[in-house]
Chain A
Amino acid sequence: QQQVKQSPQSLIVQKGGISIINCAYENTAFDYFPWYQQFPGKGPALLIAIRPDVSEKKEGRFTISFNKSAKQFSLHIMDSQPGDSATYFCAAKVEGGYQKVTFGTGTKLQVIP
Chain B
Amino acid sequence: DAGVIQSPRHEVTEMGQEVTLRCKPISGHNSLFWYRQTMMRGLELLIYFNNNVPIDDSGMPEDRFSAKMPNASFSTLKIQPSEPRDSAVYFCASNKIDRNTGELFFGEGSRLTVL
- Name the prevailing secondary structure of the A interface residues: loop
Residue of B nearest to A42 (CB): B108
Residue of A32, A36, A45, A89 near B101 (CB, 8 A) is A32
**B81 contacts A by Cβ under 8 Å:** no
The CB with the most chain A CB atoms within 10 A, among B45, B100, B104, is that of B104
Chain A contacts with B in 10-65, Cβ cutoff 8 A: 32, 34, 36, 41-46, 49
Interface string of B23-50 (1 = CB under 8 A from A): 0000000010000000000110100101
B residues with CB within 8 A of A: 4, 31, 42-43, 45, 48, 50, 55-56, 91, 93, 97, 100-109
- 19 new A-B contacts, CB < 8 A, other than A42-B109, A43-B93, A98-B31, are A34-B101, A42-B108, A43-B4, A43-B91, A43-B108, A44-B106, A46-B103, A46-B104, A89-B42, A89-B43, A95-B100, A96-B102, A98-B48, A98-B55, A98-B97, A99-B102, A100-B45, A103-B43, A106-B43
